[in-house]
Chains A and B, each alone.
Chain A
Amino acid sequence: MAKYIVRRLLQTIPVLIGVSILVFSLMHLIPGDAAQIMAGEAASEESVEQIREKLGLNKPKPVQYFNYVSNAIQGDLGNSIRSGRPVVDEIKGRFWVTAELAVYATILAVFLGLIAGIISAVRHYTWSDVSIMVVALFGLSMPNFWLGLLLIQWFAVGVDFLPIPDFLMMRPSGWGDSWRQILLPVITLGTSGAAIIARMTRASMLEVIDQDYIRTARAKGLSEKIVIYRHALKNALIPVVTVVGLEFGAFLGGAVITETIFAINGMGRLTIAAITERDFPVVQGTVLVISLLFVFVNMLVDISYRMLNKRIDLS
């Protein structure tokens, strides 16, 4: 096991290097003069030169990359062009908002997805199975930006359940302070994940229920409940674990949209604002942080998958 963890850690290194190169290149792939675009069309030659100087854009590319990485490792992601503040400071307050949102969405997706998937599998080919799978298909196909708007429409505008301005009065950390304010964004973000996990759980359960060891469990005289919830479920959940990790990542990405709709001051909204304002150091920073977090979570998921699935240990 320890050997596997070390190997998995080593495997992450090329990915991290690749991610850093890609994020670094963002600024250099901009068609035309990056400094000019960031400064704006009306900017004077001087201020363009100033930006170029500040970002070190006139140095050779490998040197720039090296500087970028070594600064990043020391926790320096450069300064925002617009506010002049360090990118790290811009991200710091918002990181936890997005992480919290993604974690809640994951909890919701896992909770709903598992229950729905298990019910579906246990009662497969009945009406409850068919309806759950139809709902899941809808959940999978629903654009989350539309879902979010509909939720606001129903609960905030229509029913006066949550007055819209509340969303704009986030705590310093970015969140509204009541569960109700958290709920709508979490549902918006988590629905597609719940659908994916439900479908995956069902498929996995159905496959496991056909296995020989389930017949063995029945032959022991165990009740159907124990056969399903003890013997089948534990096996069926192993592949679902990987999906949970991927969904957490999708939620980090999806937060961009959810935060925009609900005006939550997280990293997603910061990214969109920075893209609109052509504030590339900030875009680089948020993209880097989100993908690093995702790589890290995936690594944890792989390791726990390995721990759960004792069978792979043989090979």
Chain B
Amino acid sequence: METNVLEVHNLRTSFYTDDGEVKAVDGVSFTLPKGKTLGIVGESGSGKSITALSILQLLASNGKIIDGEIRFKGENLIGYSDRKMRDIRGNAISMIFQEPMTSLNPVFTIGQQISESLIKHQKLSKRDALLKSVDLLKLVGIPSPEARVRNYPYELSGGMRQRVMIAMALACDPEILIADEPTTALDVTIQAQILQLIKELQHRLGMSVVFITHDLGVVAETCDYVAVMYAGQVVEYSDVFTIFKEPKHPYTIGLLNSLPRHDMEQDKLEPIRGNVPNVRDMPIGCRFSPRCPAATDLCRAELPELSKDDKGNDVRCWIYSDNWDGEMEVNVYGEKRIAQGRGVKAVFSD
């Protein structure tokens, strides 16, 4: 039995603005087994990044976690004092961000910035911390690290900076690395390198990774488990094979259908119709119902819970409940599929 290093239950995070409360995250649950990689997928604005920032409690001052549990090795981080959280950040759980160009402080050298966590968490002396920084730069594949520690961020390219960010995040051998779209801002060739680097380091150091991305291709390549997010909620959570082979939630199916594939012929890509709902004006029922091809009155009236199917995977959809009486015909990669669930009435076919 594998142990879960991170369990998030029904997380809800809101921002308080001049125009009222914005429920950026409103029902996120997932688990991350030790040593594995979890992908959090969703469109921009679906609450992925806020989920990640909530885990480390790094929200902007007008943001607040209002409900839920974040269990790190069984202990609920919510309710931790700021001092206790600081011992976790950059130490047990660390994070890399989307924008390598702006995520490093321009007025400190690379070495100084990596050393900081070492001095803080591992109580190293300045000298030792700098030596370790050189090792870390070597680890993330930066050439001539002895010279680079003395560089300022502006002297490095975007890809190099993201490597530095990774070195910084890995400084204290974290148990979990949260990577928030680490490759989005980079060139395609560099993207592959950085992904490869993270994967490699994960195997070498045995850490668990939360990978936030909007790119299903990245998920397929790197993740063991996937949580699909839509409008602030997790709508489906399962292992990566199930997601790609037997997607359940109509949104997941839609996402997959809009993805080009190389292994088979496609007449056309099918985009999901409609738009992501406005955070200030959420549908009353299922948040995907306005765009869902199978939506019934029930879907439009009541929000479904995230519940387990018989294989232990989670899905937030009325189709898989006993109450559902609609019908659904959906193409998945042009092949006929039958959804598994309680009270199955849905038939995926061509």
Contact = CB atoms under 8 A, between A and B. Distances in A.
A231 B168 CA distance: 16
A165 to B, nearest CB: 51
Given A220-B116, A221-B121, A215 B154 contact: no
B37 interface: no
B56 A219 contact: yes
Interface in B91-119: 91, 94-95, 97, 99, 102-108, 116-117
B160 interface: no
Task: Classify chain B: how many residues form its interface, as a range.
Answer: 20 to 34
A63 interface: no
A308 B87 CA distance: 32
Contacts of A220: 89-90, 94, 116-117, 120, 168
A235 B121 contact: no
B97 A212 contact: yes
Interface in B34-74: 56, 58
Contacts of B121: 221
B229 to A, nearest CB: 21
Interface string B263-297: 00000000000000000000000000000000000
B86 interface: yes
A216 B105 contact: yes
Interface string A217-242: 11111111000000100110010000
B58 A218 contact: yes
Contacts of A213: 102-106
B339 interface: no
B152 interface: yes
A212 B95 CA distance: 12
Contacts, number: 71
A217 B105 contact: yes
Interface string B75-95: 000000010011111110011
B165 interface: yes
Contact of A221 (B97, B104, B106, B120): B120
Task: Classify chain A: how many residues form its interface, as a range.
Answer: 20 to 34
Nearest to B92: A221
A235 B106 contact: yes
B94 to A, nearest CB: 7
Contacts of B152: 310
A219 B154 contact: no
Contact of B102 (A211, A222, A224, A238): A211
A226 to B, nearest CB: 8
A221 B154 contact: no
A307 to B, nearest CB: 11
A133 B152 CA distance: 35
Interface in A164-214: 211-213
Interface of A: 211-213, 215-224, 231, 234-235, 238, 308, 310-311, 313-314
14 contacts: A212-B102, A212-B103, A213-B104, A213-B105, A216-B165, A216-B168, A217-B105, A218-B58, A219-B58, A220-B116, A220-B117, A234-B108, A235-B105, A235-B106
Given A217-B116, A219-B97, A231-B105, 16 more contacts: A213-B104, A213-B106, A215-B58, A215-B103, A216-B168, A218-B58, A218-B89, A219-B94, A220-B116, A221-B86, A221-B87, A222-B86, A238-B107, A310-B154, A311-B106, A314-B154
